[in-house]
Amino acid sequence: MERTEVYSLIENHYKAHQGELVKKLRNAVNGHHNAEDTVQEAYTRALKYWDTYDSERGLDKWFSSILRNCIKDTQKDSILKGMVLEDMMNMPEPQHDDVFNNVAAGEIVGFIEKEPKHHQLILRSYLVMGYTSAEIAEFTGYKPDAVRQIISRFAKKFREV
- Which domain-ending residue is among 54, 80, 106? 80
Residue 131 reports pLDDT greater than 90: no
Query: Could you tell me the residue range of the domain that residue 100 belongs to?
Result: 88-160
CA dihedral 121, 92, 3, 50 (to 10 degrees): 50
pLDDT tens for 84-130 read: 434 444 545 555 544 455 455 567 778 888 899 889 999 888 888 88
**Cβ atoms of residues 35 and 26 within 8 Å:** yes
Q: Tell me how many domains the chain contains.
A: 2
> What is the rounded CA–CA span in Å between residue 140 and residue 68?
10
Same domain, yes or no: 19 and 39: yes
> What is the rounded CA–CA span in Å between residue 39 and residue 43?
6
**Cβ atoms of residues 94 and 105 within 8 Å:** no
Same domain, yes or no: 74 and 94: no
Residues 6+ apart with CB under 8 A from 161: 111
- Which domain-ending residue is among 26, 51, 80? 80
- Stretch 51-67: mean pLDDT, rounded? 92
Same domain, yes or no: 34 and 13: yes
Same domain, yes or no: 68 and 45: yes
pLDDT tens for 13-50 read: 999 999 999 999 988 888 888 899 999 999 999 999 99
